[in-house]
Amino acid sequence: MKKILHILTQRPEQTGSGIYLQSLLQEADKKGYQQAVIAGVPEQMAQVDLGQIDLNNFYPVKFESEQLPFPVVGMSDVMPYQSTRFKDLDEQMLDSYLEVFKEKIREAVQEFKPDLIIAHHLWLVTSLARQSVPEIPLLAICHGTGLRQLKQLHRFRDYVVLGCREVDTIFALTEHQKEEISQLYAIDEERIVVMGSGYNNEFFYIDGSKREEQPIKLVYVGKMSYAKGVRSLLRAYNSLEVAEELELILIGSGSGVEAEKIKQLAKDCTRPITFTGALPQSKVGEIFRKADIFCLASFYEGLGLVLMEALASGLRVVSSDLPGVKEWLGPIINNSGVIEYVELPTLKEVDIPVESELPDFEKRFKKAIEKQISKLGEDHYLEDEEYLEAVSCFSWSGLLARMEAYF
């Protein structure tokens, strides 16, 4: 059975790519693969949860350490934990960052002797890995944030493209993203495979229990940041014109000024809002099964894994009309009436909207929520075998089975 080395530059227990990694580890472990992990963590982090993975096969790159005296560098400018932005790396910091990852990759290759490397994000360390160990097959998973960084940070472009265009196979989340990758990295589309994402059917499922009628529970999961549209969601929620009793549950964490301003905006809302902080997926699944409508007002997503988790839990959904998502979900889900898409405002940067267009976007989002509230109780889709089968195809076990064809 193949030995797989996974590489993620961020903390492995948080963010969408961290969930993706954890889920791949779990599914591959069930099939008997031997696995090792390289990931970035704070030096003082007491424990790293990698599920069934032997921690002897964990190769941490330690930040806030003597070699890397700054917080973990995040793929997004706003992370759910203290982080460093790529645009703030000076040349000395960048050299140290790449050198430490290079040492860790060589150490893992020498000790673990992988047959295959799976790297997350089409960014600096994936390029580094390809250049450092060209003799080992390397598959890369694009989560979207690498594309965003490449568009914004031109000083990294040559280095990133140099290695990433030599990756054996790239897994894209959507057809839209596949086209972007091909254009930005000058990679033949034949080496880019639309793989999508998955959800954990151990945590996200329909249990048939009747939800409480009051209050109607709306729920959001993700970072507390402007790019995720949380401000717009709060404004839309506060302006809802419905008689029913409501509650908005915000699951996730944030840091810095944006998170603080979001919390202050929530305090000014006249309807109930609950902040839970970051939660394990098992707990998120429990909340989903007791909720009614999932809301995602994000201005940019690689795919929006949490949309699948919400659908798998039987929730109705209101989401920004994110590029590639409709195509990925397919006609059965899109035509079910379970999901309402809201036209995005014009974006002046990849995930930054034109401020003057936000009021209209928030009105559209408000109306979409009201429409879904009016449909509550129409649960015929929960018994539609074709719909349920379309949703179940997106489980992690199904995704790994599709990936294995490229191992």
Q: What is the domain extent for residue 82? A: 3-195
pLDDT tens column, 325-374? 888 888 999 999 999 999 999 999 878 899 999 999 999 999 999 999 99
Please tell me the predicted confidence (pLDDT) of residue 216: 95
Residue 264 is assigned to a structural domain of this protein: yes
Q: Cα Rg for the chain, rounded, in angstroms? A: 21
Same domain for 186 and 224, yes or no, is no
Residue 210 is assigned to a structural domain of this protein: no
pLDDT tens column, 13-53? 877 788 889 889 989 999 999 999 999 999 987 577 776 66
pLDDT beyond 70 at 130: yes
Same domain for 22 and 65, yes or no, is yes
Please tell me the predicted confidence (pLDDT) of residue 209: 65
Please tell me the predicted confidence (pLDDT) of residue 208: 72
Angstrom distances, CA of residue 304 to CA of 262, 263, 308: 21, 23, 8
Please state, in angstroms and rounded to a whole number, the distance separating the CA atoms of residues 250 and 201.
22
Same domain for 234 and 122, yes or no, is no
Residue 394 amino acid letter: F
Residue 399 is assigned to a structural domain of this protein: no
Instruction: Say how many domains are in the chain.
Output: 2
Same domain for 190 and 237, yes or no, is no
- The verdict on pTM exceeding 0.95 is no
Same domain for 150 and 254, yes or no, is no
pLDDT beyond 60 at 126: yes
Residue 407 is assigned to a structural domain of this protein: no
69: domain CATH number is 3.40.50.2000
Same domain for 123 and 263, yes or no, is no
pLDDT beyond 80 at 127: yes
Q: What is the mean pLDDT of residues 162-166?
A: 97
Same domain for 220 and 189, yes or no, is no
Same domain for 166 and 232, yes or no, is no
Same domain for 151 and 260, yes or no, is no
Residue 238 is assigned to a structural domain of this protein: yes
Q: What is the mean pLDDT of residues 60-82?
A: 92
Same domain for 107 and 243, yes or no, is no
Q: What is the mean pLDDT of the chain?
A: 92
Q: Tokens for 76?
A: 């997004």
Residue 204 is assigned to a structural domain of this protein: no
Residue 125 is assigned to a structural domain of this protein: yes
Residue 405 is assigned to a structural domain of this protein: no
Q: Kindly give the residue spans of alpha helices, DSSP state H, lying in 241-339.
A: 256-268, 281-290, 305-312, 325-329, 331-334
Same domain for 149 and 70, yes or no, is yes
Please state, in angstroms and rounded to a whole number, the distance separating the CA atoms of residues 19 and 200.
10
Residue in 275, 396, 380, 293 with CA at minimum distance from that of residue 342: 293
Please tell me the predicted confidence (pLDDT) of residue 397: 87
**Category of 337 on φ-ψ map: left (φ > 0), alpha (ψ -120 to 50) or beta:** left
pLDDT tens column, 195-249? 888 888 889 999 876 566 679 999 999 989 999 999 999 999 999 999 899 999 9
**Helix (H, G, I), strand (E, B), or coil: what is residue 223?**
coil
pLDDT tens column, 304-327? 779 989 999 999 999 999 988 888
End-to-end CA distance of the chain: 11
Listed residues 165, 195, 225: the one ending a domain:
195
Same domain for 191 and 241, yes or no, is no
